[in-house]
Amino acid sequence: MKIGQPFKKNHDFEHMADVLMRRTKDGPVPIFEGVVDAEIACAILGLDFPVDRIAEFTKPGPRPTLEQMWYGYKLMKMAVNFYKGMGYDYVIMTPIILLPRTAMHLMKNPQQGDLVRAWQDEHEGLIRSRKDFEQFPWPSPKQINMFSINYAYWRIPKSMKVIAFVIGIFEDLRCLLGFEQMAIKSVEEPDLVSDILDKLIEIAEAAVEKCAAHKAVGAIAYADDLGFNHGTMMSPTWIRENLISRYQRMADAAHRHRKPFLFHSCGQIEAIMEDLIETVGIDGRHSFQDNIEPVEEVYRKYGDHISIIGGVDVDLLARGTEEQVRKRTREILDVCAPGGGFIMGSGNSVTNFCKIENYFAMLDETRKWNEEH
């Protein structure tokens, strides 16, 4: 299935930025996706892409292999072609940070047509002790590579921008320690956990600063999954003591260059929303699940303070019918769009188990809604 009619022919990131910053209620509702799985993008673009080799790309180290560099180049090329061709106002790019991470486990799911998903080792990671921490090959902030940002800059029209995607410090903490050891060490060795976070924020803050200063970058999308269906993975108190002030440093770095700081987190994070808005100063929130709280309810609570991004539940995109997706898309738009500060998209990402026809239906119904209003 190749791209037929794009969402719109003309890109307009300036309008998207106005919506993100709640400066306007006028004009069309923009669209956003932070992640579209390679299988989906390839099918839409009509490309033959080696998605089965993604395991190699998930093992970054101090020195990338030739295969990793080749795969990364293919991903960048695909991303530019996809976001341009689909009619988005931006392209997602990630600065290149060679932080060694625990290898992901790739597993097939028979209930999803044997599609491969990557899973993190919950039990342990690369850092098991203070000695491991001290010997760890931490990358220097000076080593942050902007080739991916420049690659997109050279290939997109002036009416588009790059949204720089920065991986979260909590996600990297979980990855480096393993979730179980992170939880244990947060009680038994809190100083070690804090020291790891200090290293991670030094890198992440520098990445945000460097990206936000780049003229191709229109916004920062910071992704740190903090929650699950019923609450935050760590207590709200722990998050306030260990993450909030560090998040604020990154938001401040983005704002120094007048770039929006968009925050993605899966799960139920209601307990820390006030901290994210009032202390961190996030400009927008992304990721919503109907079984946690429908996006309309989040918009009613916080739409006067931050922009709300996305909202069509991934489960519906994966298992629903086209008619159900169109109905749900219009329900969301009718509530969230008239007040401004809303951008349409999936509730999380367009996963490799989503139906392409449902993804297209969401975009097409948004286009129709815009034409009617």
CATH numbers and ranges of domains, the chain: 13-372 (3.20.20.210)
Inter-axis angle of helices 295-302 and 322-336, nearest 10: 10
Statement: residue 117 has pLDDT above 70: no
Closest CA to 251 of 201, 183, 184, 313: 201
Statement: residue 133 has pLDDT above 80: yes
Whole-model pTM: value is 0.93
The predicted-structure confidence for 170-205, as pLDDT tens digits, reads as follows 999 999 999 999 999 999 999 999 999 999 999 999
Of 99 and 16, more confident: 16
Instruction: Tell me the average pLDDT across 336-350.
Output: 98
How far apart CA 46 and CA 239 sit, in angstroms, is: 43
Q: Which of 43-47, 122-126, 237-241 has the highest mean pLDDT?
A: 237-241
Reported confidence tier of residue 318, pLDDT bands at 50, 70, 90: very high
- Mean pLDDT lowest for which of 30-34, 57-61, 97-101, 264-268? 57-61
How far apart CA 259 and CA 216 sit, in angstroms, is: 11
Statement: residue 116 has pLDDT above 70: no
| pLDDT, position 8 | 80
| pLDDT, position 84 | 95
Torsion over CA: 297, 251, 144, 158 (sign): positive
Statement: residue 115 has pLDDT above 90: no
**What percent of the chain has pLDDT above 90?**
81
The predicted-structure confidence for 244-288, as pLDDT tens digits, reads as follows 999 999 999 999 999 999 999 999 999 999 999 999 999 999 999
How far apart CA 159 and CA 340 sit, in angstroms, is: 21
| pLDDT, position 125 | 87
Q: Token pair for residue 316? A: 């519906």
How far apart CA 243 and CA 227 sit, in angstroms, is: 14
| pLDDT, position 47 | 86
Reported confidence tier of residue 63, pLDDT bands at 50, 70, 90: confident
Instruction: Tell me the average pLDDT across 306-328.
Output: 98
Instruction: Tell me the average pLDDT across 18-38.
Output: 97
Reported confidence tier of residue 140, pLDDT bands at 50, 70, 90: very high
| pLDDT, position 293 | 97
Reported confidence tier of residue 70, pLDDT bands at 50, 70, 90: confident
| pLDDT, position 78 | 94
| Average pLDDT along the chain | 92
Statement: residue 26 has pLDDT above 70: yes
| pLDDT, position 297 | 98
Paired residues of 227 in beta bridges:
232
| pLDDT, position 3 | 56
For the chain, the C-alpha Rg in angstroms (whole number) is: 20
Instruction: Tell me the average pLDDT across 65-76.
Output: 84
The predicted-structure confidence for 7-18, as pLDDT tens digits, reads as follows 788 999 999 999
Q: Token pair for residue 259? A: 């770039």
Give the CA distances from residue 315 to residues 29, 311, 312, in Å, rounded to whole numbers and listed in that order.
23, 11, 9
